[in-house]
Chains A and B, each alone.
Chain A
Amino acid sequence: QKEVEQNSGPLSVPEGAIASLNCTYSDRVSQSFFWYRQYSGKSPELIMSIYSNGDKEDGRFTAQLNKASQYVSLLIRDSQPSDSATYLCAVTSSNDYKLSFGAGTTVTVRA
């Protein structure tokens, strides 16, 4: 079983809409959760980190974590064409501290 699963996409949203990205993980004692954005041909860059249950907001981005359901999500409000990218969910396993990634969800924002 893959450790980190993301909705495969691609996801197409109109400009100004909300993009919703989902991620589930298999290790019940995972500790740290990250969302990375990767533009085509570029390296991943961190956009959000979340460590405890609940919501965390940073500008137009909101990360939500529910450890009981082993679920983490990312909402992008007021989506812009510049948000068009692949979004990668990453999780740290508490028993060996390796950083594992999901397959990514490609988002396209239509102008």
Chain B
Amino acid sequence: NAGVTQTPKFQVLKTGQSMTLQCAQDMNHNSMYWYRQDPGMGLRLIYYSASEGTTDKGEVPNGYNVSRLNKREFSLRLESAAPSQTSVYFCASSEWQGGTEAFFGQGTRLTVV
């Protein structure tokens, strides 16, 4: 049982490049989340998907897009990367709409130069 799997673990991008962060969960969870973590800032919610077929903006959605491809997969896309998007990105899932424990992936460390 892998839980929540994120790819890649590390990535370096040049300013203006695009990329997609992949996330998949095998726990049959309904809700999935994307967070970014910067030093001293805790986890800030970028986008979330309460259930398959729905997505909503979190605190810091600008510069990002998401796709809930199916119940298992929730991807995060950076269309034109900026140095301000240098961060550690975490994907998480929970059984239903935030009311139960969220399980986290191992994180993606992204550097934009």
Contacts and interface: CB of A to CB of B under 8 A. Distances in A.
A and B pair up = yes
B112 interface: no
Interface string A82-111: 000000101011001111111110000000
B30 to A, nearest CB: 10
Given A44-B43, A88-B42, A92-B99, A99 B48 contact: yes
Interface residues of B, number: 27
B2 interface: no
Contacts of A103: 40-42
Contacts, number: 60
A31 interface: yes
B13 interface: no
A17 interface: no
Interface string B36-50: 000011111100101
A44 B104 contact: yes
Contact of A98 (B56, B100, B105): B56
Interface in A37-91: 43-46, 49, 88, 90
A32 B100 CA distance: 8
24 contacts: A32-B99, A43-B90, A43-B105, A43-B106, A44-B43, A45-B104, A46-B101, A88-B43, A90-B43, A92-B97, A92-B98, A97-B31, A97-B98, A97-B99, A98-B45, A99-B45, A99-B98, A99-B102, A101-B42, A101-B43, A102-B42, A103-B40, A103-B42, A104-B42
Given A97-B98, A99-B48, 6 more contacts: A32-B99, A45-B104, A49-B100, A92-B98, A97-B50, A100-B59
Interface of A: 6, 31-32, 34, 43-46, 49, 88, 90, 92-93, 96-104
